[in-house]
Amino acid sequence: MAKIEIYFLVLGSIFFDFLIGDPSFLVHPVQIIGFWIDKFSKTYLRYLKGKNSQLLGGLLLLISTLTLSYFSGKYIELKFFQSGGNLFWGVIILMGISSCLASKSLISSVKEISYLIKDESLDEKPNQNIIDKVQRLVSRDVSSCSKENLMRSATESLTENSVDGIFGPLFWIFIGAFCLNYSIYLPGPLSLGFSYKALSTLDSMVGYKYKPFKYIGFFSAKFEDYATYLPSRVVVLTLPLVSIKILNYFNLIEKTFSEGRKYESPNSGISEAIFAYIANIKLGGENKYQEKIILKPLLNDKGNKCNRNSITHICNLIIRLEFLWLIFFSFIFL
């Protein structure tokens, strides 16, 4: 396969996601993956209650989901190669890679929430529409949150999901492009993109530390941590390069890893911390999960409260960083 074909498929998919997002008239791969995960986990949990059996079930769920996702992508890549670059299969690959990214959907959703909260009177309780929109982005319970905490929840979701939904898949898509450039039989951008998206979906659906998913989601959560380990750290190391705080680069990196490693997750803490310091906002604090109050370590304790301007700033940082990654990829790949 010609190097230029691979490059333009990846480039086209990034711009398609950035400009169009996910067309509503198409079935999204996540819907298919999610259907399989939901049916498997519910059926398994209904009949098997023991810890060991649920751990085994979780491992089977992880392996089966990754296998289906990877080989679906690999099949399409092989069809494109074997057809000599047929336009139909090229479009399928472009749309498939684009479906692994969430730039437009994530940024649009969080910006909409920030505008809705800003447009309401601060002395009124947030309406149910805003609460529902935030709840769709986060796993914590936001039903009784103030507008200030809703804004913080949306911001934390934006910073963490920018890695899970944009830079994580983008990292593995780039790796796949490099592999495919050497051999069609190696993992490609679509097969690795689908695999990472499957992992991310597994983590968001069953990767919890509380029942009923505590054991069946254990392996999925751990494996997703490993797959996101490198992308999250590349984000930390490159985000200051697209900000006005680049002259304070090494201090930012030191503070990010110092505070971010206090989180249980090896990735979300540092992902949130780098955005908190660059946007000068305070993240972390009290969150509610299944009627339990969890206190997360504060990030940039002296920063400002989250607001619409800080969300706009973070969205702009994400867009600039995505273009920087694309420039790096183009320079190395071509």
In this structure, which amino acid lies at residue 78?
L
- Helix axis angle for 29-47 and 51-82, nearest 10°, is 160
Among 132-136, 158-162, 195-199, 326-330, where is mean pLDDT lowest? 132-136
Q: How confident is the model at residue 120 (pLDDT cuts 50, 70, 90)?
A: low
pLDDT of 75 strictly over 90:
yes
Q: Which residue has the higher pLDDT, 294 or 158?
A: 158
Q: Where are the domains of the chain?
A: 3-333
Interatomic CA distance for residues 80 and 5, integer angstroms: 11
Q: Which residue is it, tokens 């697209």?
A: 242
Percent helix, strand, coil in the chain, to 5, is 70, 5, 25
Interatomic CA distance for residues 272 and 114, integer angstroms: 18
**Taking the mean position of all CA atoms in its chain, how far away is CA 320?**
17
Q: What is the pTM of this model?
A: 0.95
In DSSP terms, 299 is beta-bridged to: 283
Query: What does the pLDDT read at residue 46?
Result: 87
pLDDT of 90 strictly over 70:
yes
pLDDT of 122 strictly over 80:
no
Query: What does the pLDDT read at residue 190?
Result: 97
- Residue-wise pLDDT for 265-282, tens only, equals 899 999 999 999 999 999
